[in-house]
Each structure stands twice: as structure tokens, then as C-alpha cells.
Amino acid sequence: MFFIEWWNALSIAGQIFACIAIPSTFVLLVQTVMMLVGFAGDSSADGGDSDVPDGDELEGVFGDNDTPDAQDVTGLDGLRIFTIRGIIAFFVVFGWVGIVMDGSGVGLPITLLVSAVCGFAMMILLAYLTRLAMKLRSDGTADNKNALGVAGRVHLTVPAERSGQGKVHIMLQGAYAERDAVTDEEAPIPTGSEIVVIGVSGKTTLVVKRK
């Protein structure tokens, strides 16, 4: 049988890499299929309303911002790298690159280093592609004022009394979206807190309060 012959031809290190790569690949394929057929959903927007129109543009990396000096020119501001799908993708690339390099006779230390670098690069690429997909899903026609009353979750801490901007994740018109946000509350709203949109500041920044 081909698989048994292939397995027996691997070194011990190659077999360990295979034990990482094969299950991870299977899980990633299942996740991808579930996402394509609509079962994966957007779990980060717990409690959000999915029937609200999307805003006209995404903030931060892929959109305009009313406070340019606060932007991250590297494009990493608010980028969700360490997600479940990202970690699985890391192991997929780490495992298969390790198998190939080990089979080519490359030393184990170099194999581990290159495999890890390639895996992390895949995590970053996946995060960028996810951000780009969220931007493309915006229809560009709706007014963010329609987000009033929508619930979401804080991604980057929202400073107190409008002393700065944070970021929140909400569902707008069935699409997962990230928006800049401010609050009038006296205490900051930390990452992970549930919020409700109560207004719009400027063109696209949301005004939120704790849920």
C-alpha cells in the first residue's frame, strides 16, 4: 500500500512531522468545507445582530481613519493572527515543510527553524486574507447609523471618555466587520467585553457602551 510504503520510508523526525501535518490538514479541510457551506459562522460577534447593513468602509489597515497619526503603517494593527484557523494553518505548513526538508536530508535544527518560519508566515497571510475578505464583503452603500443598537465585542480596548479609539467587532448586513469605536463611559472597555452601539462619531467611528 502506498501510504504504508511512504510512511516506512520516513525518518523518525519525518514521521513526527507527518503526525502533525496529516491531522491538521484534515481539520483545516473540514473547517474550509463548513465555512463554504455556511456552518462556520462568525463566532467573534457574539450577541450581534446579523440583519444590519454594513458600513461604507473598513477602518484601520484597509480603510480611512479620522486619526491618521494613530494608524499602524505596518498593517498589523488589530490583525487577528492567533485564531484557531490560523494556528491550524501553522501546523499544516510546519508539518509538510518539515517532511519535505527532512526527506531532502536537511539537518533537523534548520528544518525546525524554516518550518516554523513558514508556518508563522502562513498565519500572517491567512490573517491578511481574512481582513481582505471582510473588506470585499462590504457592499459600500449602507450608512453606519444603521448599526445603532447592534451588539458586538471589543477587540482592542476602548479608552474612557473618548480619550482615544479602540476597535470592536460587529455583524453588519450578515458580514463580519471591524470598526473604530469610542465611549463616553468613565472607565475603559477592555478587550473581550460585550458592547452595544449607541451612536456614530464623525463618518464611521462608532460610539459604544457596555452591554
Q: How do residues 182-210 score in pLDDT, each as one tens digit? A: 999 999 999 999 999 898 887 778 899 99
2-11, 20-29, 75-84 — most confident range: 20-29
**Measured between alpha carbons, how far is 183 from 168 in angstroms, rounded to an integer?**
11
Identity at 45, one-letter amino acid code? A
**Measured between alpha carbons, how far is 105 from 51 in angstroms, rounded to an integer?**
55
56-70, 103-117, 124-138, 145-159 — most confident range: 103-117
The SS3 of residue 30 is helix
The predicted-structure confidence for 78-129, as pLDDT tens digits, reads as follows 567 788 888 999 999 999 999 999 988 889 999 999 999 999 999 999 888 8
Q: Tell me whether residue 111 is exposed, middle or buried, using C-beta atoms within 10 angstroms of its C-beta: 0 to 12, 13 to 18, 19 or more.
A: buried
